[in-house]
Structure formats: C-alpha cells, structure tokens
Amino acid sequence: MRIVLTGGGSGGHFYPLIAIAESIRENTLSAQAELYYMGPNPYNKESLDALNIKFVSCPSGKMRRYFSFMNFVDIFKVLFGFFIALFKLFWIYPDAIMSKGGYTTVPVVLAAWFLRIPVVVHESDVHPGISNKIGGRIAQYVAISWADTAEDFKKEKVAQTGIPFRKTLQTDVVDPKTQLGIDPNRPMILVLGGSSGAERVNTLVLESLDELLPNYTVIHQTGKGLYEGVVQTAEALLKDSPYKEYYIPAAFLDAKKMNLAYSAASLIVSRAGSGTIFEIAAHGKPSIIIPIPEKIAHDQRTNAYTYARQTDAVVMEEQNLADGLLAAEIARIMGEAALYESMSLKAKTFAPTDAAEKISDILRKIATDHE
C-alpha cells in the first residue's frame, strides 16, 4: 500500500497530514504502508522521519487571488511542477493521494488525475481555496470541516469529518498548570498570535497586560519572528510591576506544550485559522476570536463568524480593537458563570475529533481497491 500526502505552505496544511499518517500507522491493516510527502520542501523533517514518511521534492508556483506580475511567472512554475510530479508519481505509482490543499498541491493533484490515481481532498475552511476547488473536481472523496462547505462540491463526494488532530493534542493531562510551572490557583489566559498576522494581536495583548495580570496568568505565543520584540516591549512595560511573573511569552509551543496550555487555559484568545478553532473547540474552551482582515486572508473572517454562531465565541474585528476592550471582554466572560459554562459546552460539542481515523479509513479502502 502506497499513499502520497501533499499539502503545504503552512502548519495548517502540514500537521493534519501528520495526524492522518499517525492513524494510518496505528492500524494493523496499513501500519506498513509506504508513505510519501510531496512538496517543495519537507516543512518539518522531524515529523516526517518519526512516521517513516519519505520526502519527495516537487516545485510549484503560488496561485494568488490578487494581481501580481509573479502570477504570470508562477504559471510556468506550476507547469514545470506538473511534469516533475508526473514523472515522480509514475515512478512511485501510489494507490491514493491525500491532498490537504495549498498551492503546492496543484501539480501533484493534476498529475494524479492524468495518471488516474485516486485523490482524496480535505478542506479546512468554510470556503475552499483555489487549489481545493481544482482538487475537488478531480477527487474521489472530499472531506470537509464545516457543514456550509458542502455547497462548494458535488454532494455525492462530500463527507463532514472535522479537522484531523495529532494524537499529542488530544491526550488527557493531569495538573496541566503544575506541568507548565504556573500558579495552579490563578485562571490562565492563552493567547495564540499565530505565525503570520500575529503583530496586531501581540500589540493588543501588550497594551492589555496592566489590566490582565492582576487577575490572570497570561501565556502568549507570539510567533517566532516577533518574539524578541515582544519580550523587549513587555520588559519595559512590566519593569516595576509586581505581576510581571504572570506574563509568559513563548515564540512557539510544540504539540505537547500546546496540549498542556489548551488544557490549563480558562479562556483562549486566537486568530481564526480553522485548525486552531477546531483545537480550541476540542478542548471545550470559551474563546475570543480575532480574524485576520479579509484583504490579507480571505477565509478567517468567515471561519470566525461561522464558529461564533454555533458556540457563542466572541469575534473582535481588528479595526475595532481599542485599549481596554480585550480585558473587558475577558472579564465579562469569566465573570458570568452561566455564559462561561454555555460557551464551554457548545465548544466541546461543536465538531467531531476523529477526523484522522475517518480519513485514514477512506484512504485504506481506496488503496485496497486500487491494488
């Protein structure tokens, strides 16, 4: 059994594929399957090596939604990538392709169609991107995360699975605050600025520390590129504060620490990437969602409001952010027990958490039939 995984450009594409690979490896029927990851770069080689996934290089051009002269150049990159993918897929000749979306998948999916290799597509966002619109036409199955997404694909192909999570993010933990080394008697606010688009959230949090730290511990994932600047600003702001020990910035939280932070958090402030939203929901945490503006990211605003309608999560538009607003919203949610419990319950029941198993079952069936 040979399965090629493709999807890339971000962790939101890559790590769900890792979750699917984990499920494939755990099932005795597919534990010895040959797994390949195809894209311009391995993204996280350690994750691939841990699951014995072979990296196969394949170039691709970016498909932008806005005008850019690079669009004309990247058309030729996609075409070049198609021929590379065609050659490499013919050499591997897998039984199935698992595409997570992202511009890196287009050459691979088109080559799979040419070679008549079955394709499964997973879409994380409410509205699919260009790559998954292309892949959805070719795919044998389309796994979706949001019910509204079904309108964009042929109904007979669609199954709502949710988003695949790595096992580490679903592990039950005992005394997460103790393991994180924070005060077990203080409520903790987890802030996820993300990687790209984190700067405005980081600024908002720093401006709110004087109001938050007297009452809460704040763990703040800043994004790797912004960490040093955030730390320097926080040190200046909190120089004489008796509460400075309760602010804990981190450039990046690995899966184990992220699971601990999710488990320990009383409330989460986050951008509106689908993967993060579904992880917040799986842990049953009330949340404040700050979508990246549409002119920068087309999907986050829709994700945020769709999630809020079903869970009562608070959506704060970036252009409306003002000093004191974040702290006031956190205080309101934390201060109303009935509201807090309702938000937590609705989040916990929002979506299934077995997406990786469902999708790996589909891949096994397709691969077996293809053999």
pLDDT, tens only, 23-47: 999 998 888 999 999 999 999 999 9
Report the pLDDT value the prediction gives residue 335, as an integer from 0 to 100: 96
pTM of the model: 0.90
More confident: 172 or 38: 38
| pLDDT mean over 17-26 | 96
* Lowest-pLDDT choice from 120-124, 168-172, 343-347, 359-363: 168-172
What is the C-alpha to C-alpha distance for residues 197 and 193, in angstroms, rounded to an integer?
Answer: 7
Averaged pLDDT, 2-7: 96
pLDDT of residue 171: 87
* pLDDT attached to residue 341: 97
Q: Report the b/e string of 249-275 with b at 16+ CB within 10 A.
A: bbeebebebbbbbbbbbbbbbbbbbbb
**Segment 187-192 mean pLDDT:** 97
Select the more confidently predicted residue: 66 or 47.
47
Mean pLDDT, rounded, of the chain: 91
Domains of the chain: 2-165+353-370 (3.40.50.2000), 169-348 (3.40.50.2000)
Query: What is the C-alpha separation between 126 and 169, in angstroms, rounded?
Result: 23
Residue 199: which pLDDT band, with cuts at 50, 70 and 90? Answer: confident
